[in-house]
Amino acid sequence: MSDSSLPDLRAHYDAMWDRAWPDVSRGDVECDLHLAGGLDPRRGLTLVARPDAALAARFEAVQDALLAADPRQYRQPLSDLHMTVLSLFTVTEDYASHLARRADYAAAARAALGDLPAFEIGFEGITISRGAVLAKGFPRDGTLERLRARLRDALRARGLDGTLDQRYRLVTAHSTVLRFVAPPADPARLAAVLAAMRDVPLGTMRASSLQLVINDWYMSSAAVEPVATFTLRPPSDAT
């Protein structure tokens, strides 16, 4: 289904690739120092959707191919895979005052969801930054964008928008599958695998249930604390 209100995600993902490719293809990556240092002490509050087993298996196949080319990089564990609907507050070391209002954040999410239907995200290939490899997600309709807009409004109405979109305004529907933690041992080999997987079909995520969770930067299962789960109604065209 096409929707003229949707952001041009293909162009956005292509621009990400074009910015990062000259550096990544020659092994100039941004290594994640927090991962090398052990557990991440930072926390945020995020509304997420999770892939089902079939889609997670396709993501795992991407990871297998990438790690065969460079086994030193960080594989996002299957239990940690997710698509961010919205970060209600950005991961920070100074999180206590935010978490003291977790019930208000949950109320904002509940109000924003209202009667919105379940929605689908089609995943097709990968894009890159200097720090990570991302599975490219494409919403099938405008439900995700409407949800994000309503959630931003609900947070502002409750005075909870102080760190909203602090790093950047989220428009993508990606899932991070790998993070760089070391310079590639064989940049040409890794670059060849990345290029080969750029447009490989991966499958579809049906977001019928969303989780509001306390999380670290990596959505590590060891750090995640569930706050609320929301079930979306079936789409009107469901049979």
Q: Is 238 a member of any domain? A: no
* Structure tokens, 118: 């379940």
User: How far apart are alpha carbons 135 and 68 in whole angstroms?
Assistant: 18
217 has a pLDDT exceeding 80 = yes
Q: How many domains does the chain have?
A: 1
Neighbours of 85 (CB within 10 A): 25
User: How far apart are alpha carbons 76 and 134 in whole angstroms?
Assistant: 10
Residue-level length of the chain: 239
Confidence of residue 39 (pLDDT cuts 50, 70, 90): confident
CATH of the domain at 111: 3.90.1140.10
**pLDDT for 6:** 57
Q: Is 1 a member of any domain? A: no
DSSP string for 182-222: S--SSHHHHHHHHHHTTT-EEEEEEESEEEEEEE-TT--TT
User: How far apart are alpha carbons 212 and 77 in whole angstroms?
Assistant: 19
Q: Is 27 a member of any domain? A: yes
User: How far apart are alpha carbons 195 and 203 in whole angstroms?
Assistant: 19
**pLDDT for 175:** 98
Q: Which helix (H) or strand (E) holds 45?
A: strand 43-49
Q: What percent of the chain has pLDDT over 70?
A: 92
Q: Is 26 a member of any domain? A: yes
Q: Is 237 a member of any domain? A: no
**pLDDT for 168:** 53
Over residues 106-115, the pLDDT tens digits come to 999 999 999 8
User: Which structural domain range is residue 130 located in?
Assistant: 9-145+153-231
83 has a pLDDT exceeding 90 = yes
137 has a pLDDT exceeding 60 = yes
Confidence of residue 150 (pLDDT cuts 50, 70, 90): very high
Neighbours of 2 (CB within 10 A): 7
